[in-house]
Amino acid sequence: MRPLISAFKQDARYQDSKWVSFGGSYSGSLSAWIRLKYPHLVDAAVASSAPVQAQINFVNYLAVVRDSLGSECDAAIQAATNQIEALLQHRVGWKVLSKKFNLCDQLDGTNENDVANFVQTLAGNFEGVVQYNKDNRAFEGALGTNITIDTICSIMTDNSTSPIVRYASVNQLLLQTNSQKCTDYTYKNYIDSMTNVSWASGAAEGGRQWTYQTCVEFGFFQSSDLKDQPFGYRFPVSFFEQQCKDIFGENYNVALLEAGVNATNTNYGGFGIKVTKIVFPNGSIDPWHALGILDYGENDDDAFAIFINGTAHCADQYPDSENDPPQLRAARDQIFQFLSKVTSPDCAEQDLNL
Q: Residue 221 has what pLDDT?
A: 98
Question: What is the secondary structure of 284-310 as a DSSP string?
Answer: SS-GGGGGS-----S-TTTEEEEEETT
Residue 40 lies in a domain: yes
Q: Is there a single domain that holds both residue 91 and residue 212?
A: yes
**Are 253 and 315 part of one and the same domain?**
no
Residue 55 pLDDT: 98
207 and 60, same structural domain? yes
pLDDT of residue 26: 97
CATH number of the CATH domain containing 306? 3.40.50.1820
Q: What is the pLDDT of residue 343?
A: 79
Indicate whether 13 and 35 sit together in one domain.
yes
- Domain boundary among the residues 216, 236, 261 is at 261
Quick one: 41 and 91 in the same domain?
no
Length of the chain: 354
pTM: 0.91
Whether 353 is covered by a domain: the verdict is no
Any domain includes 124: yes
Query: Looking at the 3D structure of the chain, how many domains does it have?
Result: 2
- The answer to whether residues 85 and 230 belong to one domain is yes
Residues with catalytic roles: 25, 286, 313
> Which structural domain range is residue 8 located in?
2-52+269-342
Q: Are residues 66 and 89 in the same domain?
A: yes
Nearest to 50 by CA among 232, 297, 328, 278: 278
Give me the CATH number covering residue 253.
1.20.120.980
CA angle 17, 19, 24 (to 5 degrees): 160
SS3 340: helix
- Shared domain for 12 and 109, answered yes or no, is no
Does a structural domain hold residue 248? yes
Q: Is residue 133 part of a domain?
A: yes
Distance CA 321, CA 302 (A): 30
pLDDT for 327: 97
CA dist 53 → 29, 36, 185, 226, 297 (Å): 9, 14, 30, 18, 18
CB 245 within 8 A of CB 253: yes
Last residue of a domain, one of 218, 238, 261: 261
pLDDT of residue 4: 57
Q: What is the DSSP string of 205-218?
A: GTHHHHHHHIIIII
Please check whether residue 347 lies inside any domain of the structure: no
Tens-digit pLDDT profile for residues 99-140: 999 999 999 999 999 999 999 999 999 999 999 999 888 777
Does one domain contain both 283 and 174? Answer: no
335 assigned to some structural domain: yes
**Per-residue confidence in pLDDT tens, the chain, 354 aa:** 556 556 556 666 767 778 999 999 999 999 999 999 999 899 999 999 999 999 999 999 999 999 999 999 999 999 999 999 999 999 999 999 999 999 999 999 999 999 999 999 999 999 999 999 998 887 777 777 899 999 999 999 999 999 999 999 999 999 999 999 999 999 999 999 999 998 888 888 889 999 999 999 999 999 999 999 999 999 999 999 999 999 999 999 999 999 999 999 999 999 999 999 999 999 999 999 999 999 886 555 678 999 999 999 999 999 998 889 999 999 999 999 999 888 776 554 443 333
Please check whether residues 218 and 284 belong to one and the same domain. Answer: no
Domain boundary among 229, 245, 261: 261
- How much is the pLDDT for 351? 39
Note whether 176 and 234 are same-domain residues. Answer: yes
Task: Quote the DSSP letter at residue 103.
Answer: B
Whether residues 209 and 284 fall in one domain: no
Residue 180 lies in a domain: yes
